[in-house]
Amino acid sequence: MPFKVENQAMNKRISPLDIPLQGKKIEFELQESDLPRLKEEATPHLVLCRANLKAVGDQVSMEASYQASLSKTCDCCLKQTKLELHGEFRLTLLPQYLQQREQPGEGEITAEMADIDYYDGKEINLGPYFEDQIFLDLPFRIECSDDCQGICPQCGKDLNKSSCECEEPSVTRPFANLQNLIQTTQEK
C-alpha cells in the first residue's frame, strides 16, 4: 500500500528514552546521503520509511515498512530502469554492550537468526537498518522489459533501438578463417 510521509521533519534518529510506554510511530524519508551502500547498486529517488517502535529500557523492538522508488541499470542493455520496492520487517535493537556479553556458542541462535541488531550510543539511527533491508530486497537481476534485446556483443549497439549488421554467432568467426585456410591447402 502506498503511503505518504506527512511530517517530513520527523527524524530517523531516536533515543529509546523518548519512546513512551504505549510505543511510538515515526515516519521519515531517507536521502541519497543516507544510503551509501545502496547507492552503489541503484539510484534512490524516493525512500519512505515507517517504524512502529516499542521500548523496554534500552531494548527496542521495531516493526518497519518501507517504500522505495529506485532506478537500476538493466542487466541486459544497461538502460536505467525504474524499480519500485516495498517491504516489511521486524527487528529487535539492543545496545552494543550486550553484544560483547552474548557471544553465541556453536549451535546457538545467532543474532541474525533472531532478527536482532545492535546500536551504538544513546541514539539509534534507523536509516542503516532500512538500507540493509532494501539492499536485501533488491532483485538479483533486472531487465528493462520482458523482451529486452540487449546490446550487440560485437558492435555495442543497443538492439532495442536498431538492429546491426553483425553476423550472429560471433564465436565461429575465428574458425571461419581457419576453414578457408584448410580449403586452400586442400585445393593445392
Binding Zn ion (rule: CB under 5 A), the pick from 30, 60, 64, 77 is 77
Q: Does 83 bind Zn ion (CB under 5 A)?
A: no
Q: Does 148 bind Zn ion (CB under 5 A)?
A: yes
Binding Zn ion (rule: CB under 5 A), the pick from 54, 59, 152, 158 is 152
How far does the chain reach from its first CA to its final CA, in angstroms? Answer: 76
The region, left, alpha or beta by phi > 0 then psi within -120 to 50, assigned to residue 115 is left
C-beta closer to Zn ion: residue 115 or 167: 167
Task: Using DSSP, state whether 171 is helix, strand or coil.
Answer: helix
H helix runs in 91-172, sequence order: 97-101, 127-137
CA distances to 103, 153, 179 from 111, in Å:
9, 45, 62
Q: 51, 136, 145: which is closest to 93 by C-alpha? A: 51
Residues 69/46, Cβ–Cβ less than 8 Å: yes
Q: Does 181 bind Zn ion (CB under 5 A)?
A: no
Q: Does 49 bind Zn ion (CB under 5 A)?
A: no
Q: Does 26 bind Zn ion (CB under 5 A)?
A: no
Q: For residue 38, what is its C-alpha cell?
A: 545502496
Q: Does 80 bind Zn ion (CB under 5 A)?
A: no
C-beta closer to Zn ion: residue 5 or 159: 159
Q: Does 155 bind Zn ion (CB under 5 A)?
A: yes
Binding Zn ion (rule: CB under 5 A), the pick from 51, 55, 76, 91 is 76
From residue 106 to residue 145, the character string flagging contacts with Zn ion as x (rule: CB under 5 A) and all else as - is: --------------------------------------x-
Please count the helices (runs of H) and the strands (runs of E) in the chain.
Answer: 4, 7
Using CB under 5 A, list all residues that contact Zn ion: 74, 76-77, 144, 148, 152, 154-155, 164, 166
